[in-house]
Structure 1
């Protein structure tokens, strides 16, 4: 199934964006942050890079799920459903309001797998982000393409065992939160705002909480518990979706001396939905 896709390996694309003050203002509103300055040259939290470098595909080039149609830059994977499987990100330099940034994206790997829900193909993208003074961040992002939703439920894996939590914060994602994040990132994926599509076409019981939303609010919670720290690196892995309107918790273990710690989000049953290995340091 992936034979014809391997010719896409090594393809690259460059996108330029700006850490503009209006974007920073909107992200501060979404995350309830009153401590982030909007003056040109003011520092921006590292992990807020997630709102930049949207695809911005023309409306005529969108697929039925709201994503850009496959076969332009991303390979024409013959599986219909798409989700973010995980990401690994290391920050090398700070970002400031007004910085012009360039991201080079390379299709680094295409890997077929078989999961609990059937055949899947992982497409790994490597993003290299540079700013006025050189390298800013390197990210590896795993996009998982999945078979159509089955009528019969997929076999359930045993829930991941959670470590002992040093703290727990309630997390209640609602449709407005999902809309504001999708609008900020210009993310058109319909499972995050079109409940009928999410339920009737992709088989979810409710709107799916963006993995990016959970990651953002989990990192924000970690920083509230570590005043003065920044996110220096993290490795996030999606284990199962969270659904809009259902209660969840953001949790963390005790950090080591280097600031490394395990962060995770639990759904209403106590199962881990997303897990992050992060390093927080001044």
Structure 2
């Protein structure tokens, strides 16, 4: 397998449309156990909540063994069994509004094969443009990593530790019910989030995997809580290791400069699972 086999997928694009509906917002709020945002037209979509819109609605006949949409439709047919979000970045020009109808144009930007410590890796970078009928505008890129099946004899990499002491920390636990609900509202049927037997027997994890976007949303929320009333302007994140539902995890924030925050998530051993950088803009 070489990345040249898949370069024909670069530039492939599609556009989907969705409306930021109050009903879906209520489901997201219930999943995060927080109040739903105001439903009037002046209210903005909270950061990260856009991941619960624009779902891939795939018939069961188009689902692969891992529960994901079978490859070869929009995403390239990478012949590796495991896939996860590796990183992402989001730029919010103007927040999407409640009740706004939004077009999302997604484009395959690059396909790159690498040789990692655990074997073959393929990175697929996808860009998204969001354009609302009331002026909402965002750009996003996310990178998906495809990997070989786990090797039970492989030596785990040395853990990465936090860069400095945080200004604030919170400790959380994700229940199977919350992960199921998040999968439901995002229409994500990847079995690593709800099928414990699949996680342990096929993927080698000790429990259900907490969704990368869910963790990233919590980190955005933590950064914004440091300056109430200010809007998120940009956010970037990188997933380093998985979090599972059987252990507590922690979120941390540190102000690096005015309106700029470093955030990170750690597993129950204090090792880094995700890092991020947030920039806040003017007051709402």
The TM-score normalised by the length of structure 1 is 0.95
Q: CA-atom RMSD, angstroms?
A: 1.5
Q: Does 2:244 correspond to 1:243?
A: yes
Query: Are 2:167 and 1:156 aligned?
Result: no
Which stretch of the first structure deviates more once superposed, 185-194 or 25-34?
Answer: 25-34
CA separation of 1:205/1:135 partners in 2, compared to 1, >3 Å: closer, same or farther?
same
- Kindly state the Cα deviation for residue 162 of structure 1 after the two structures are TM-superposed: 2.5
- Is 2:57–2:187's contact at 8 Å kept on the other side of the alignment? yes
The gaps in structure 1 that reach 5 residues or longer are none
1:113 corresponds to: 114
Contact persistence 1:41–1:98 (CA under 8 A): no
1:275 paired residue number: 275
CA distance in 2, matches of 1:169, 1:178: 19
> In the aligned structure 2, how far is the partner of 1:212 from the partner of 1:35?
19
In the alignment, structure 1 residue 231 sits paired with structure 2 residue 232: yes
Q: What are the within-5 Å matches in structure 2 for residues 163-174 of structure 1?
A: 163-174=164-175
Kindly tell me: are residues 274 and 236 of structure 1, through their superposed partners in 2, closer, same or farther at Cα, counting changes over 3 Å?
Answer: same
> Contact (CA 8 Å) 1:47, 1:231: kept in 2 or not?
no
In the TM superposition, residue 229 of structure 1 has moved relative to its aligned partner by 2.0
Preserved contact between residue 117 and residue 155 of structure 1 (Cα < 8 Å): no
Per-residue CA shift, 1:53-76, capped at 9, x if unaligned? Answer: 111111110001111000111111
Deviation, structure 1 residue 35: 6.1
Aligned to 2:262: 262
* 1:255 CA drift (Å): 4.1
Alpha-carbon spacing, 1:112–1:154, altered in 2? closer, same or farther (3 Å):
farther
Counterpart residue number, 2:78: 77
Query: 1:262 offset after TM fit, Å?
Result: 0.5
Q: Is the 8 A contact 2:47 2:220 kept in 1?
A: no
Q: Partners in 1 of 2:31 and 2:278 — Cα distance?
A: 22
Deviation at 1:154, TM superposition (A): 3.8
Structure 2: state its 5+ residue gaps. Answer: none
Shift of 1:41: 4.8
1:32 paired residue number: 33
- Are the equivalent residues in 2 in contact too, given 1:41–1:96 (CA < 8 A)? yes
Instruction: Report how many residues are paired.
Output: 281
Distance in 1 separating the partners of 2:29 and 2:210? 19
Question: Residue 94 of structure 1: CA displacement?
Answer: 1.9
* Secondary structure of 1:79's aligned partner: coil
Is the CA contact (8 Å cut-off) linking 1:21 and 1:40 kept in structure 2? no
